[in-house]
Structure 1
Amino acid sequence: MLSLLPAPLHRLALRAAHAGRKAYWAIFRPHIQGVCVIATNDAGAVLFARHSYGSGNFLLPTGGMKRGEDALETARREMREELGCELLDARVLVTHRNSLHGAKHTQHLVAARLDATPQPDGREVLEARFFAPDALPDPVTPRTRRQLELWAASKAG
Structure 2
Amino acid sequence: MNDVTNGMREGGLTLAYHTIVTVRDGLRRLARPTELGVRSVVTRGDRLLMVRHRSGPTPWSLPGGGVSRGEDLATAALREVREEGGCDAQIQRLLGVYYQHDYGFNNHVGVFVCAALGEARPPVGDIEIVDARFFLPQDVPDNTEAGSLRRIAEFRQGLVGLARSW
Q: TM-score, normalised by structure 2?
A: 0.78
Match of residue 74 from structure 1: 76
Q: Which amino acid aligns with 2:153?
A: E
Q: Which amino acid aligns with 1:81?
A: E
Q: 1:128 aligns with which of 128, 132, 154?
A: 132
| CA 1:87–1:22: 2 relative to 1, 3 Å | same
Q: 2:148 aligns with which of 109, 130, 144?
A: 144
Q: Deviations over 1:96-123 (max 9, x none)?
A: 2213633200000111011111111121
For residues 145 and 139 of structure 2, the distance between their equivalents in structure 1, rounded to whole angstroms, comes to: 14
1:58-69, aligned counterparts within 5 Å? 58-69=60-71
Q: Deviations over 1:53-80 (max 9, x none)?
A: 4446221112100011111100111122
Q: Which amino acid aligns with 1:92?
A: L
For residues 52 and 37 of structure 2, the distance between their equivalents in structure 1, rounded to whole angstroms, comes to: 18
| CA 1:141–1:126: 2 relative to 1, 3 Å | closer
- Aligned to 2:158, the other structure's residue is in SS state helix
| CA 1:28–1:128: 2 relative to 1, 3 Å | same
Q: Which amino acid aligns with 1:27?
A: L
1:51 lines up with 2:31 in the alignment: no
Compute the RMSD of aligned alpha carbons: 2.4
| CA 1:113–1:15: 2 relative to 1, 3 Å | same
Q: TM-score, normalised by structure 1?
A: 0.81
For residues 69 and 153 of structure 1, the distance between their equivalents in structure 2, rounded to whole angstroms, comes to: 30
For residues 81 and 146 of structure 2, the distance between their equivalents in structure 1, rounded to whole angstroms, comes to: 23
| CA 1:140–1:121: 2 relative to 1, 3 Å | closer
Match of residue 91 from structure 1: 93
Q: 1:13 aligns with which of 16, 23, 41?
A: 16
For residues 84 and 14 of structure 2, the distance between their equivalents in structure 1, rounded to whole angstroms, comes to: 13
1:33 lines up with 2:36 in the alignment: yes
Q: Which has the larger radius of gyration?
A: 2
Q: Which runs of no fewer than 5 residues in structure 1 stay unpaired? A: 1-6
For residues 141 and 119 of structure 1, the distance between their equivalents in structure 2, rounded to whole angstroms, comes to: 21
Deviation at 1:93, TM superposition (A): 1.5
Match of residue 114 from structure 1: 116
